């Protein structure tokens, strides 16, 4: 089995960012909790998946956020390896934020899933081809048209609120001192 190292890094970075945000911390605040000084820019490159993170560094970052490294890696592996051929991973939070009228049925479904108990699985769901076909019918779209929309909501491979701005910050987060 071959591993797509770029995708692995992006997913790992996304998981690090999610844990940090769950703590309610900026990167600067995370940096203060680390035993060794790591620049805010380095933390940003780890979260964006553009820089390799050593196992020791990953463990330090995870433990500073009260996250067990093996739990974080298990989520990375689940996101990377559980999709079967033909499945598409969709971030429900991105679906809910979309405002295209033709996707209203999809948005309602996504909101319902987010409001319900999803067992702590986060906002990403795996949709098989049959589910995509049914959703396309509900939206009055062809399967191909809906897939084009769904790719925009794909967990880690689509641009969206997780893209950095000109300062390398994500979704409006500022690391500048107050």
pLDDT digits (tens, 9 = 90+) for 39-70: 999 999 999 999 999 999 999 999 999 999 99
Residues of the chain with CATH 1.10.10: 84-178
Q: Which CATH superfamily is domain 5-81 in?
A: lambda repressor-like DNA-binding domains (1.10.260.40)
Inter-axis angle of helices 129-139 and 104-115, to 10 degrees?
A: 120
Predicted TM-score of the model (pTM): 0.53
**Residues 4-26: tens digit of each pLDDT:** 788 899 889 999 999 999 999 99
CATH of domain 84-178: 1.10.10
CATH 1.10.260.40 boundaries in the chain? 5-81
- Reference 142, options 85, 90, 102, 96; nearest CA is 102
Confidence of residue 82 (pLDDT cuts 50, 70, 90): low
The residue ranges of DSSP E strands in 5-155, in sequence order, are 88-91, 124-127
């Amino acid at each position: 089995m071959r591993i797509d190292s770029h995708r692995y890094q992006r997913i790992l970075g996304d998981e690090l960012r999610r844990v940090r945000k769950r703590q309610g911390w900026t990167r600067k605040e995370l940096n203060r909790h680390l035993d060794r000084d790591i620049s805010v820019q380095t933390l940003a490159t780890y979260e964006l998946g553009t820089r390799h993170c050593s196992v020791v560094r990953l463990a330090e970052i995870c433990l500073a956020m009260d996250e067990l490294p093996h739990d974080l890696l298990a989520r990375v592996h689940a996101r990377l390896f559980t999709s079967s051929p033909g499945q598409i991973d969709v971030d429900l939070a991105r679906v809910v934020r979309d405002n295209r009228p033709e996707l209203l049925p999809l948005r309602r479904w996504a909101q319902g899933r987010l409001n319900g108990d999803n067992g702590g699985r986060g906002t990403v769901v795996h949709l098989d081809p049959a589910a995509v076909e049914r959703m396309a019918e509900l939206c009055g779209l062809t399967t191909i048209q809906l897939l084009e929309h769904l790719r925009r909501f794909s967990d880690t491979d689509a641009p969206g609120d997780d893209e950095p701005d000109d300062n390398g910050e994500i979704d409006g987060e500022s690391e500048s001192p107050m």
